Amino acid sequence: MSLILRSRKKKDGEDGAEKTDTDDAATPSLVEPQNDSQMDTDPAPSPSPSPSPSPSPASPPSEADDVQMTEAADDSPPPVAYTLSSSPVPQVSADEMRSRRLAALSRFGSPPSSSSTSSSSSTNSTPPSSNPISIKKTIPKTPVSAPSPSPPTSSPSPSLGSPIVHHTPFPQWEATILRSLLQVTLDKQNTSESLFYLESLAVEVAEEKHTPQLRESLIDRVLHSLCCLPQAPPPHLSLVAYFIEVFQSTTSVFNRKSTQNDPDRTRVLSAVIDGIVNYSILLLRFPEMFPSTVGSEKLSLLPFLEADPSSPNSLPAEFLKKIVAQADDSTLEEVFVPLFDAVRIKLVQTNLFGPFLAPMRAYALLIRHQKLVDMLTSAKQWIPTRRGTGKEMEVGSLLGPMFRMSSFPTHLPISLFFPDGYKPDQRDQYLSTFRAKLHVSQETSTHIMLALLKAKGNSRERVLEWIAETLGRNIDRQKMNTNDTSTCSEGFLANFTCTLLHLCEPFMKLDNHKFHMIDSSFLSLSPRYKVGEDQTRLSMTESEYRTYRENLVEGLMNPDSLQHNFITEIFFATAQAIHIGLAHVFSSFSRLMQGWTQEGNKEAVKVCFAAQMADPDLLELLFNYYSLMATYLMHLALKCESDAPTTLPLPTPAPEAFQALPEYLVDDMMEFFSFYYSQPANFPVGAVKSAKARPIMSFAVTFLSSEESYIKNPYLVGKLVDMMTLLVPKGAKMTSEKNAFDDNSLLSKYLGPSLMRFYVYVERTGASSQFYDKFNLRFSISIVMRFIWKLESYKNSMARECFNPSRFLKFANMLMNDAIFLLDESLSKLHFIHEYEADKPTPKYLTMSTTQRQELDQQFAQTERQVRTYLLLASETIRMLHYFTRDHATCFAIPEVIKPLASLLNYFLVRLAGPKYQELKVSNPDKYTFKPKWLLKKIATTYLHFVNFDSFPEAVAQDGRSYDPVIIAEAASVLHRTKLIDDNVHQKFMEFLDKVKAKSTAMGLEEEELGEIPDEFLDPIMSELMLDPVILPSSKMSCDRSTITRHLLTNPQDPFNRSPLKIDELIPNVELKAKIDAFIASKRHHDA
């Protein structure tokens, strides 16, 4: 019988040789190709559990062995042979089965010939090929395990390269080699344990008056007879196992040099190979037609595909290549879609601690073939549409389950991770083990994704569609509350993001400038990625963005045919994957651990999360990606003319392409760097190097200095500062090691002034909670400023900012306002704690009702929490005020600043050293970080920063509310006695106090001289004599310039009618000033 699956033979008129219209060469090359069928990148094999045992390939017999086998057949007595007669099998007779087989074969090939054909009549013929099969069958939806055969015995073979002299006549060689390769015999007297006796075929051959000798013309009939048996030829457990072993053996003999030089032998071996491939295709396509199968043969290749490549049980690459090449599209779909689906189901049913690598290996081997890639990406299950959810993409698509292997214990019992219970002393071993498994899974899935993207034709486009669809269906994950049943799991998104990050690696290197190819219009124009118009933009309102997008579309020649390059698409796809996945985990790592703690073992759960989230390899990828993001955004802000600015702030307005980008690009970047740099010591991620941190630090100072013109959200800008606080060296490292603030001229020149301006800018954020939010933002600013104040280059740049009167005046005013509010609130709450502790043991507390005591206890607990925060903020603000006045007292010695500063110092010195200090005593001040002596020292020594300014002693003495020379002197004595200040400082302080007393005496005399002051000369806000009156343009009221200036620095409104008012809009009241000067002069002249 001759079964033709792929091509029809044609006669060549010139040389009489037969040629085929197949894509393969006439003489098949059975060495595994490196470029044709194999993709550019193959998944690196990793150790994994071996699949079910499969047959080991028998060693191909040598020609010397052929002769020995022939001689043994002639001389040796026949051993016990495997025999199966053609007696009826259960339910179906052999004759009936044969008739059904012949009928099926006749539909797509020639029926087996009943007459023999000379095997040596055509020495130049090419290996037989075949016509395509086109019969449709139902595709099984679930994988069925196939039994795996035991390894057969085989004869030893010489080395493939050794020369062999042909001593055997061709007919004898033909019979011997076919008997050895096919492992069958037609001679009942010439059987052995390794030869199966085909009784039915032997009878047919005898009836045809032929000798019971195997030859080329019988190959097809031998295979047909084997397929008609009620079970696979022993010792094989399946026909597929038998076909694979015969293919391996025949391939090995075919590749010998001696075979290649003999066209007759080549032809015979090619016929065996083609017959094996053809019947394998038939078996895989129509398993129900074979008595030895039960309909499971469509999945019978899976154990061989899953086997380790180094195992003898692995599927020969050339075998799979020939099946794919010779089968038609319909056959491929019916055979291989169920295989891909079986792989999918296996991956869904396993986890990180199960046999996940075997099905992933099978997937990787299948997609080496372009036809299978085309079939896979065109299948309905490539992007399933039944539910339209993200979870369906994770478990229902043919690619999704590849990314499910995670160490997140969200849906798995913690006992699966720690079968013997969690042991704290083995934490490092747990992390190492979990990460090793994760790396195997992630590397394999990345190689698979890369191979699919490198495939030819429309496959890349279909893969990109899959990526976009997966992201689009999980867009709800960016909301506060997500539905876990309809969106992908955190573990899936973490692995998926890891793969996308690997795809970005080729253009992550900043020195190759490939990121210049990224098209910023992608998120506005791409039909695949739907970033809603309601998405918050960096510096555009919703209506402004809508207009911008409409203008982009109008500028396109053909919007429907718009295509973006691969770098652009993967870059923004990665950003969106992080946004809906990892960014959520980064920002709420602690909450997630608390919510998912199982069996009360929080430390064990923490290890599970840290294994993946704090994996150094993942963090390194993210670090490099966001370094690229930072550089790209600066490049875009600079209108693509440079990658980093040389001067700041950036020119305004910002480019529209930058303004239109979604805010989450920057927000997620800051969340990551904050997570990266805040890793606790037990999960180290490496030291921070100045060169490595340069892109993100340059990004931070660039957009910190440019403020709302580029990033309008002050909280987002505040995250830039929050991230910097984590880079501030701690302890001894502040001076002993390089840090992120070193060797960056852009940073040293502009960071300090930018922080001072941002300190002022956050006074009004626009949020309902802006009053309290500003303190948190300013606390981060103070942490960074405290460190850079010690660096000479940074300090010099801030000095230049201090000598800019208009800007520094705002900064100084905000600094003093914060100090007053925070310290006053802190001391008030300490007073409440003092009273609570004093009253609790007394009858006053005990006689309260239960409700009253509960309310009081709750208020106490709340006050404790608040006072810790307020004292922390107040201490840092007082510290900043201290070093600014120490180094730049001149800038504070102006009328608008000097008087409120003196009042501030007087008020808090009296509170900390006066009679009411006893009201601040609490049982455990360290619990609240209350350090009264440290505060008293900072306030007292701040006085001394102004000893050389005559206006300051006068300002101290003018403070009628808090100035008390006795208490000030007592404070200095306390500090001296407790050795917080030395003799020299104490002496200076007392000399300063003498100046204040003298000024106070002189001011008292001057006030007596002036007597009663007319109301029109008094400031309506402070009720003090105006020395520099100005007119408010809208209310027409007159105020002293210093008073109204301080007010406008805090609130830019006319205090009398709340209309907008700026300092430069104030009008000098020349007429009133002249009257006041005349009044003062007249009083002094009169007294004189």
Residue 555 pLDDT grade (very low, low, confident, very high; cuts 50, 70, 90):
confident
Residues in the chain: 1088
Q: Is the peptide bond before 649 cis (omega within 30 degrees of 0)?
A: yes
Confidence at residue 297, expressed as pLDDT on a 0 to 100 scale: 57
Asked whether residue 839 carries a pLDDT value surpassing 60, the answer given is yes
Q: How far apart are CA 601 and CA 605, in angstroms?
A: 7
Asked whether residue 158 carries a pLDDT value surpassing 90, the answer given is no
Asked whether 563 and 522 are in contact (CB, 8 A), the reply is no
Q: What is the DSSP string of 302-335?
A: HHHHHS-TTSTTSPPHHHHHHHHHHS-HHHHHHH
CA angle 941, 942, 945 (to 5 degrees): 100
Asked whether 500 and 625 are in contact (CB, 8 A), the reply is no
Q: Which of 246-255, 296-305, 571-580, 719-728 has the lowest mean pLDDT?
A: 296-305
Q: Could you tell me what percent of the chain has a pLDDT over 90? A: 57
pLDDT digits (tens, 9 = 90+) for 386-439: 989 999 999 999 999 999 999 988 778 888 999 999 999 999 999 999 999 999
Q: How far apart are CA 35 and CA 370, in angstroms?
A: 12
Question: Six-digit token pair at 825?
Answer: 């609130």
pLDDT digits (tens, 9 = 90+) for 583-598: 887 876 656 555 555 5
Tell me how far apart the terminal alpha carbons of the chain are, to the nearest angstrom.
140
Q: How far apart are CA 264 and CA 430, in angstroms?
A: 61
Residue 806 pLDDT grade (very low, low, confident, very high; cuts 50, 70, 90):
confident
Confidence at residue 764, expressed as pLDDT on a 0 to 100 scale: 82
Q: What burial class does residue 625 get, using C-beta atoms within 10 Å of its C-beta: 0-12 exposed, 13-18 middle, 19+ buried?
A: buried
Asked whether residue 56 carries a pLDDT value surpassing 60, the answer given is no
Confidence at residue 340, expressed as pLDDT on a 0 to 100 scale: 96
Asked whether residue 483 carries a pLDDT value surpassing 80, the answer given is no
Q: Could you tell me what percent of the chain has a pLDDT over 70? A: 80
Confidence at residue 685, expressed as pLDDT on a 0 to 100 scale: 46
Q: What is the mean pLDDT of the chain?
A: 82
pLDDT digits (tens, 9 = 90+) for 2-27: 333 333 333 333 333 333 333 333 33
Confidence at residue 47, expressed as pLDDT on a 0 to 100 scale: 36
- For 925-939, give one letter per residue: b (16+ CB within 10 A) or e: eeebebebeebbbbb
Question: Six-digit token pair at 824?
Answer: 């006053």
Beta bridge mates, 83: 197
CA angle 112, 118, 123 (to 5 degrees): 115
Backbone angles phi, psi at 256, to 5 degrees: -70, 145
Beta bridge mates, 1053: 1060
Confidence at residue 407, expressed as pLDDT on a 0 to 100 scale: 93
Residue 1072 pLDDT grade (very low, low, confident, very high; cuts 50, 70, 90):
very high
pLDDT digits (tens, 9 = 90+) for 638-663: 998 888 899 999 999 999 999 999 99
Host H or E run for residue 580 = helix 566-580
Backbone angles phi, psi at 655, to 5 degrees: -55, 140
Confidence at residue 677, expressed as pLDDT on a 0 to 100 scale: 83
Q: Residues 946, 951, 957, 960: is their CA dihedral positive or negative?
A: negative
Confidence at residue 1074, expressed as pLDDT on a 0 to 100 scale: 94
Asked whether residue 68 carries a pLDDT value surpassing 90, the answer given is no
Asked whether 476 and 483 are in contact (CB, 8 A), the reply is yes
Amino acid sitting at position 663: E
pLDDT digits (tens, 9 = 90+) for 1014-1039: 999 999 998 889 989 999 999 999 99
Q: What is the DSSP string of 1001-1045?
A: HHHHHHHHHH-SPPGGGB-TTT-SB-SSEEE-TTT--EEEHHHHH
Confidence at residue 292, expressed as pLDDT on a 0 to 100 scale: 79
Confidence at residue 1003, expressed as pLDDT on a 0 to 100 scale: 82
Confidence at residue 680, expressed as pLDDT on a 0 to 100 scale: 58
Half-sphere exposure for 201 (CA within 13 Å, toward CB): 30
- For 983-993, give one letter per residue: b (16+ CB within 10 A) or e: eebbebbeebb
pLDDT digits (tens, 9 = 90+) for 960-1004: 889 999 999 999 999 999 999 999 999 999 999 999 999 988 888
Q: Which of 376-385, 809-818, 997-1006 has the lowest mean pLDDT?
A: 997-1006
pLDDT digits (tens, 9 = 90+) for 887-936: 999 999 998 899 999 999 999 999 999 988 999 999 999 999 999 999 99
Confidence at residue 1011, expressed as pLDDT on a 0 to 100 scale: 83
SS3 196: strand
Beta bridge mates, 87: none
Average pLDDT over residues 188-202: 88
Asked whether residue 743 carries a pLDDT value surpassing 50, the answer given is yes
Residues 6+ away with beta carbon under 8 Å from 337: 139, 375, 376, 379, 381
Confidence at residue 663, expressed as pLDDT on a 0 to 100 scale: 95
Average pLDDT over residues 475-482: 79
Confidence at residue 20, expressed as pLDDT on a 0 to 100 scale: 35
Q: Residues 70, 72, 77, 83: is their CA dihedral positive or negative?
A: negative
CB count within 10 Å of CB 479 equals 11
Confidence at residue 28, expressed as pLDDT on a 0 to 100 scale: 31
Confidence at residue 844, expressed as pLDDT on a 0 to 100 scale: 79
Higher local confidence (pLDDT), 819 or 140 = 819
Closest CA to 268 of 289, 242, 250, 290: 250
Q: How far apart are CA 321 and CA 33, in angstroms?
A: 9
Closest CA to 909 of 827, 982, 815, 1004: 827
pLDDT digits (tens, 9 = 90+) for 89-131: 334 444 554 555 455 444 434 333 333 333 333 333 333 333 3
Higher local confidence (pLDDT), 1007 or 495 = 495
- For 407-424, give one letter per residue: b (16+ CB within 10 A) or e: bbbbebebeebbeeebee
Backbone angles phi, psi at 54, to 5 degrees: -130, 165
- For 47-73, give one letter per residue: b (16+ CB within 10 A) or e: ebebbbbbbbbbbbbbbebbeebbeeb
Q: Residues 958, 962, 966, 968: is their CA dihedral positive or negative?
A: negative
Asked whether residue 75 carries a pLDDT value surpassing 50, the answer given is no
Asked whether 878 and 904 are in contact (CB, 8 A), the reply is no
Asked whether 81 and 196 are in contact (CB, 8 A), the reply is yes
Confidence at residue 392, expressed as pLDDT on a 0 to 100 scale: 96
Asked whether residue 1054 carries a pLDDT value surpassing 60, the answer given is yes
Asked whether residue 1009 carries a pLDDT value surpassing 60, the answer given is yes
SS3 71: helix
Confidence at residue 482, expressed as pLDDT on a 0 to 100 scale: 73
> Which residue is listed with tokens 């705002």?
810
Asked whether 282 and 240 are in contact (CB, 8 A), the reply is no
Residue 191 pLDDT grade (very low, low, confident, very high; cuts 50, 70, 90):
confident
Our CA dihedral for 258, 263, 268, 274, rounded to 10 degrees, sits at 100
Residue 72 pLDDT grade (very low, low, confident, very high; cuts 50, 70, 90):
very low
Q: How far apart are CA 112 and CA 1009, in angstroms?
A: 135
> Which residue is listed with tokens 């009053």?
771
Higher local confidence (pLDDT), 209 or 153 = 209
Confidence at residue 108, expressed as pLDDT on a 0 to 100 scale: 39
Confidence at residue 717, expressed as pLDDT on a 0 to 100 scale: 94
